[in-house]
Structure 1
Amino acid sequence: MSAFDDELRVPVAEASKPVGRKRVRRPIAPLAWMRRYLAPRGLLGRALLIILLPLVILQAIALQLFYGNHLDVISRRLAGGLAGDIGMVAELVSRRPDPEEQARIFRDAAWRLELGLAFEPGARMERPQSRPASLPLLPLEEDLTTALRERVALPFDTDWQTDPRSVIIRVQLPQGVLHVEAPRKRVFTGTLYLFVIWLVGASLLLFGVAALFMKNQVRAIRRLAGAAEAFGMGRDLGPIKPEGALEVRQAASAFNRMQERIRRFVAQRTEMLAGISHDLRTPLTRMRLALAMLPYEAHEDAAALTQDVEEMERMIAAYLAFARGEGQEQPQETDLVALVEDVAARARRQGTPVEVTAPPALPMPLRADALRRCLGNLLDNARRHAQRIAVSVEQAPRAEGGGWAMVIVDDDGPGIDPGQREEAFRPFASFSAGGTGLGLAIARDIARAHGGDILLEDSPMGGLRARVRLPL
């Protein structure tokens, strides 16, 4: 048996355990990991990645060409030159043991070769050991060690740590130990620092300029997105100022035109609804008077028709109330908890027992009158089918950031079948549990005008739960 299961890619010890209802977490594939960490979700991050990635690759290629080829050749040549000078001095010192001759050799080496020399007669190197260089990323120690082995051919060691400006080399001669102090500039070229500084500095400069310009472009897009989000929540902030790149300005101008067209459409629809509803009241009033004047023998038929006329008047009143609120009201800072308490108090005055569970306060921008109609419609719908009603106010996080304010209406009525809950929001929908008229349709329209929605669920009380979501 292999160490890993071929299908799930999990250890066999884990795969052999009964899984049951527990979810087995599969390791993240390398491609998914790269997408998660190397593909930012935001436009700014992606734009900077598009700019930065080719720049880094280009700079890395340039550095590799210099570091891997040019610097390597120069380092070997400099190390070979220093090793040759040390080998020549060591040969001269071995052939001329006279102290005066050695002194003359040391003076000439100091003047012509920039080498500090000292000789320790009769000394022996216990164990030749080279100390690592202080610049580990450069091939100094390796190149110098290789060159010394080729051109000196005697036991030696190197010390890169004692003196930051020099490298100390000891060579074992037959007569003693030769100490050589060589300046580092003989094996190191300072152009590497300039080249690296140029690469890093140019990259940082270009990245900073790109980040500054892209941030300005993304700021304009974010303002456009914020204006669209606010307009979708019913917050009329007016036209936005076109700024940024040409395409972003065109999008902002198109959004302003669309916003104005939607305003005109809503205003025309509101006026039309209000006019139709108002005009319908006149014939309904005449019908009510005509029914009242019928003889006593037609009393039963007149009563039934009167109920139909009253139902039509209620629907027209709902139309007018909805039209007035949609066309005129603007969002204002309102305490949601106080609004819910007010709606519940009105329901109690009509004889409906309502329990309210809510935090002390929850201020947020709302169309207060419209939301009162929304919650009132939900309570009216629950009152017609249930004996007990409970209302609660909660908060919940949003996946895209921010949070939701939740107003939950529970009842102990017969509820609505899950397959018919979406149908219940259609005007005058009817099903086994009864009809909804316009109440739920208007309630959902008001919630969506705030940027939220209404969901129907099973209630812990045994009936229906209406969950109103409103963005904070």
Structure 2
Amino acid sequence: MRKRVFGRLFFVPNQTRNMEKSIRRVLPRSFLGRSLLIVLFPLLITQGIALELFYGNFLQVVSRRLSDSVTSEIVLSLNALERLKQPEDKQWFVEQARQNLQLVETWHGGARLRRFGSTHVLGPMDEDLARALQTSISYPFFVNWRQNPRTVKISIQLPDGVLDVDAPRKRLDMGQLWLFVAWTLGSTVLLSVIASLFMRQQVKAIRLLARAAEQFGLGRDTGPIRPVGAQEVRKAAVAFNRMQERIFRFVSQRMGVLAGVSHDLRTPLTRLRLSLAMLPQSGALQAEDIRQDVEDMVGDVVEMEHMIESYLAFARGEGAETVTQVELPTFLEDVVAAARRAGVRVEAIDVPPDLKVPMRPDAMRRTFANLLDNARRHDACVRLKAYLAGRNVCVLVDDDGPGIQPERRALVLRAFESGRSSGTGLGLTIARDIARAHGGELTLEDSPFGGLRVRVILPL
């Protein structure tokens, strides 16, 4: 894979490309998810580093010192018990250890240990105590952390019995670990909720801006949007409102100019048509000789008016009409009825009942009128069918005419290209532009009846 950077080509390995795709699949797709990830990911890393510093340094150092302290007292007890031979002396020392060392020692003469080693709990104190005992004494031992939640029972196998030492758990356990873990998790959850609430408001403002831009692109005037959210989003909303105002002002000026041009062009044509109509039909001008010429000139005037109307419709773009909810069955029946009066042969129309579509009625009427008029010029029979396709409505206009070759379909959708044989060359172009202005599309395909199929897609 090659990538151009600052005018130079660099080869990007496929492994890097695959890694980028994998990262994109893992990352959230929404702006809200990515924003939360940007906030929470450094937070989790910071909390993890702090936990490692506390757990790996301070906690372990303190735990080792506490374990060494308890182990040294146990070693002192073992040495004293080995030197004291009389049972009453040993009992005296046990009482002294309980009172002064906070160690409850119990001597079991002739007993034997069945388990060795240590049970495990959360934190480093179990490993540190076992390591300190193993280093300081040469006798087998067993450390039970789970027998009593307040004490740790240490059993040591001596040659003539077992010494049980109950040490207070608070002398070995680091309670701050639970507090630190709870603070880490709690603060992460709290900050996540706060960040989610704040980011949701910012994303809401961006969504409102995106929706307004989408509606404006479809030609639906929803009015100016209220600037909300962060300062940058507010500036974008204000800029969008100004852009919308400038575009509306430009369209209004353009429509005014077009109206003036239409008036200026229609006036001489009307005078010419009136003059032709007032020519004398009898007398010295030989009415029979000029009648055919007059009819031809009238036909030329009508064709010029039709061409001017097509040019103005193409330049106007039908953008000033308001979008309304239209019942598609009734709308298409009216279009078909008008087309039949103009000489179009429409055999069938198949539309689901109670289907409403948001559209500009006059603009869409012009679209279907152009499509049906094309079929009339080719003396083709037309069939209409409409159906739902997801969140869109698809209208099919099929005919049995000569059709259009696949390689010419993209060409005839261009302005003034389809009229080389007949017409103005703007019918299909206007129809496609109107469909796109509604947020839809117009495509040309092969019809199952042998002619051309025009597929008009409109969003709901």
TM (norm. structure 2) is 0.84
Does structure 1 residue 235 correspond to structure 2 residue 220? yes
Q: Helix, strand or coil for the counterpart of 1:414?
A: coil
For residues 393-444 of structure 1, what are the alpha-carbon distances to aligned partners after superposition, in whole Å with 9 as ceiling and x for unaligned? Answer: 23345xxxxx333222222322223343233233332378755633222222
Instruction: Give the equivalent residue in structure 1 for 2:21.
Output: 32
Contact 1:118 1:180 in 2 (8 A): yes
1:252 Cα deviation (Å)?
1.4
Instruction: Give the equivalent residue in structure 2 for 1:388.
Output: 381
Contact 1:157 1:171 in 2 (8 A): yes
Give the stretch that moved more between structures: 276-285 or 55-64.
276-285
Q: 1:276 aligns with which of 261, 266, 269?
A: 261
Q: Helix, strand or coil for the counterpart of 1:329?
A: coil
Residue 25 of structure 2 aligns with an amino acid whose one-letter code is R
Contact 1:315 1:438 in 2 (8 A): no
Gaps of 5+ in 1: 1-25, 398-402
Instruction: Give the equivalent residue in structure 2 for 1:115.
Output: 103
Residues 1:263 and 1:91: Cα distance change in structure 2 (over 3 Å): same
Q: Helix, strand or coil for the counterpart of 2:434?
A: helix
Q: 1:216 aligns with which of 197, 201, 219?
A: 201
1:377 Cα deviation (Å)?
1.9
Does structure 1 residue 374 correspond to structure 2 residue 359? no
Residues 1:346 and 1:73: Cα distance change in structure 2 (over 3 Å): same
Q: Helix, strand or coil for the counterpart of 2:118?
A: coil
In the aligned structure 1, how far is the partner of 2:84 from the partner of 2:379?
Answer: 119
Residue 410 of structure 1 aligns with an amino acid whose one-letter code is D
Q: 2:353 aligns with which of 338, 360, 367?
A: 360
In the aligned structure 1, how far is the partner of 2:173 from the partner of 2:329?
Answer: 75
Does structure 1 residue 443 correspond to structure 2 residue 431? yes
Contact 2:419 2:425 in 1 (8 A): no
Residue 259 of structure 2 aligns with an amino acid whose one-letter code is A
CA RMSD of aligned residues (A): 3.1
Instruction: Give the equivalent residue in structure 2 for 1:306.
Output: 298
Instruction: Give the equivalent residue in structure 2 for 1:86.
Output: 74
Residues 1:92 and 1:329: Cα distance change in structure 2 (over 3 Å): same
Q: 1:247 aligns with which of 224, 232, 238?
A: 232
Residues 1:73 and 1:341: Cα distance change in structure 2 (over 3 Å): farther
1:323 Cα deviation (Å)?
8.8
Give the stretch that moved more between structures: 182-191 or 457-466.
457-466
In the aligned structure 1, how far is the partner of 2:152 from the partner of 2:421?
Answer: 95
Instruction: Give the equivalent residue in structure 2 for 1:96.
Output: 84
Residue 180 of structure 1 aligns with an amino acid whose one-letter code is V
For residues 150-199 of structure 1, what are the alpha-carbon distances to aligned partners after superposition, in whole Å with 9 as ceiling and x for unaligned? Answer: 12221112223333333322211112222222232222212223333333
Contact 1:414 1:433 in 2 (8 A): no
Instruction: Give the equivalent residue in structure 2 for 1:167.
Output: 152
Contact 2:380 2:401 in 1 (8 A): yes
Q: 2:413 aligns with which of 401, 415, 425?
A: 425
Residues 1:338 and 1:67: Cα distance change in structure 2 (over 3 Å): farther
Q: Helix, strand or coil for the counterpart of 2:272?
A: helix
TM (norm. structure 1) is 0.82
Residues 1:27 and 1:268: Cα distance change in structure 2 (over 3 Å): closer
1:351 Cα deviation (Å)?
4.5
Q: Helix, strand or coil for the counterpart of 2:372?
A: helix
1:348 Cα deviation (Å)?
4.4
1:328 Cα deviation (Å)?
4.9
1:76 Cα deviation (Å)?
1.8
In the aligned structure 2, how far is the partner of 1:161 from the partner of 1:338?
Answer: 82
In the aligned structure 2, how far is the partner of 1:236 from the partner of 1:291?
Answer: 45
Residue 35 of structure 1 aligns with an amino acid whose one-letter code is R
Residue 132 of structure 2 aligns with an amino acid whose one-letter code is A
Q: 2:42 aligns with which of 42, 54, 58?
A: 54
Count of matched residue positions in the alignment of Structure 1 and Structure 2: 439
Contact 1:277 1:319 in 2 (8 A): no
Residues 1:196 and 1:334: Cα distance change in structure 2 (over 3 Å): same
Give the stretch that moved more between structures: 234-243 or 47-56.
47-56
In the aligned structure 1, how far is the partner of 2:340 from the partner of 2:82?
Answer: 115
Q: Helix, strand or coil for the counterpart of 2:148?
A: coil
Gaps of 5+ in 2: 1-14, 282-286
Residue 120 of structure 1 aligns with an amino acid whose one-letter code is H
Instruction: Give the equivalent residue in structure 1 for 2:137.
Output: 152
Residues 1:319 and 1:31: Cα distance change in structure 2 (over 3 Å): closer
For residues 209-256 of structure 1, what are the alpha-carbon distances to aligned partners after superposition, in whole Å with 9 as ceiling and x for unaligned? Answer: 333333322222221111111111121111112222332222212211
Does structure 1 residue 333 correspond to structure 2 residue 325? yes
Instruction: Give the equivalent residue in structure 2 for 1:192.
Output: 177
Residue 46 of structure 2 aligns with an amino acid whose one-letter code is L
Q: Which of the pair has more CA radius of gyration?
A: 2
Q: Helix, strand or coil for the counterpart of 2:398?
A: strand
Instruction: Give the equivalent residue in structure 2 for 1:285.
Output: 270
Q: Helix, strand or coil for the counterpart of 1:32?
A: helix
For residues 302-357 of structure 1, what are the alpha-carbon distances to aligned partners after superposition, in whole Å with 9 as ceiling and x for unaligned? Answer: 44433332222334455677899936531122233442343334434545224333
